[in-house]
Structure 1
Amino acid sequence: MSRVKLLGVNGSPASQRVEWALKIKGVKYEFITEDLQNKSPLLLKSNPVYKKIPVLLHNDKPIAESLVIIEYIDEAFEGPSILPKDTYDRAIARFWVKFLDEKCLPAVWKALWSQGDEQEKDKEEAYEVLKVLDNELKDKKFFGGDNIGFVDIVANFVGFWIGIVEEATGVVLVTSEKFPNFCAWRDEYLNCDKVKENMPSREMLLGYFKSRVQAIAVTPK
């Protein structure tokens, strides 16, 4: 019987992606919570290059980086497919997850937390990447079609976390007027039972981000 452990942090989008993939496959696993301010010897040994979560340990063999881990889970364990079966569709899915992680997430995160003169410029950059997603989701229920798949799992930050951070910071990026297709997808996404089962407490995250906003407000400029 294989031994599966996940080094992660509750409330981390990257950790949550991997947990979701494990649950889709029906894999039993042990979740080991890491303190990122005091990283464990196990984490540093398992991911000596990046020293980050998440890390999957399968029979004591470590796999790092959430996207790599999800593909590993899809190939290593029996159960419903996460990536598309078709070679072309699989390549397209990989393209969009790369776009989400390398272009969308950084731009959106920066815009949500920027202040002063930089804020409008950062918001415009975030609008550009969100418009790309909005165009991709035209006439689609989910990124992969009618069912949640690889891209939707990776899109958990824009689907779930954005709205919470918007509420905490008071910075509104996503409206149905600007991004109707994206908002329609998000509504489907947030009302999906699979999503509800695999996301952390909204109240917990909102409290966390509000505390960050307060900490920033009292930090000397």
Structure 2
Amino acid sequence: MTTDEVKLYGLDGSPFVCRAKIALNLKGVKYQYFQEDLSNKSAELIKYNPVYKKIPVFVHNGSPISESLVIVEYIDDAWKGGVPILPQDHYQKAQARFWAKFVDDKCIPAVFKAIGSHGEEQAVAEAHEQLQFLENELKGGNKFFGGDNINLVDISATFIAFWLGAAEEALGIKVLNKDKFPKLTGWCDNYINCQAVKDSLPPREIIVNFFKKRFGN
């Protein structure tokens, strides 16, 4: 039996790289990790992702894959052991892909705008409008968007679960409050305390310091 060669090129502070790490940990896949310097990108990164030249890049037995959610789906397809990241039901699978794309296209940009504005009222209101859709999508007493187990939507929202809280601490603002979003804040706690996620996250102080340097006065 041959051993798979699995490599991940990334940056510790990136929530998109973290998505790939979480998927690999959920599946119990061993991999080599290569930390990139984005001001001096490695020849391997440029070779494996010549179109965008950005992280994360995942390489399985010499075949490169880019874009974090594509990587997560690939990992789910390639390693069938462990908990499935995508639902098996066709409709539920389509819904998971829809909400993961919503997080990327609508939620994260609105939240990032609220952070960058230092919690300006209109920007926070716009972020709340998008976050409310996620709040409504957490059905019943489910711990995760995937029910009892983490799925693609949970992984897509890693930025909201961990990076947003670090930004709030760094800048002294509040975007995601418990009174307005009780299910979503509960989900954040459940998600970041899941072992596969916890083992993938960068130290919180690194992210806090990043937001202080980027957006601090």
- If the length of structure 1 is used for normalisation, what is the TM-score? 0.90
Equivalence for 2:215: 213
Across the two proteins, how many residue pairs are aligned to each other?
Answer: 213
Structure 2 equivalent of residue 91 of structure 1: 94
**Aligned counterparts of 1:50 and 1:33: Cα–Cα separation in 2:** 17
AA at the equivalent of 2:179: E
2:104 counterpart of 1:101: yes
For the residues of structure 2 that align with 1:9 and 1:181, how far apart are their CA atoms?
30
Quote how far apart the aligned CAs of 1:115 are.
5.2
| Compared CA separation, residues 21 and 161, structure 1 to 2 (3 A) | same
User: Could you tell me whether the CA contact under 8 Å between 2:25 and 2:196 is conserved in 1?
Assistant: no
Kept in 2: contact 1:113–1:169 (CA 8 A): no
Counterparts of 1:23 and 1:190 in 2: how far apart (Å)? 13
Displacement over 4 Å in runs of 4+: none
Unaligned runs of 5+ in 2: none
Question: Residue 15 of structure 1 corresponds to which residue in structure 2?
Answer: 17
- The answer on whether the counterparts of 2:48 and 2:64 sit within 8 Å (CA) in structure 1 is yes
Q: Is the 8 A contact 1:5 1:57 kept in 2?
A: yes
**SS of 2:40's equivalent?**
coil
CA positional deviation for 1:45: 1.7
1:130 is matched by which residue type in structure 2? L
Q: 2:80 aligns with which of 64, 78, 81?
A: 78
Q: Which runs of 5+ in 1 are unaligned?
A: none
Q: Normalising to structure 2: TM-score of the pair?
A: 0.92
Distance 1:130 1:196 in 2: 23
Task: Specify the code of the residue in structure 2 equivalent to 1:96.
Answer: W
Q: 1:161 to 1:26 in 2, by over 3 A?
A: same
Q: Give me the whole-angstrom Cα distance separating, in 2, the residues matched to 1:53 and 1:5.
A: 12
Higher relative contact order (Cα pairs below 8 Å, separated by 6+ residues)? 2
Q: Is the 8 A contact 2:118 2:171 kept in 1?
A: no
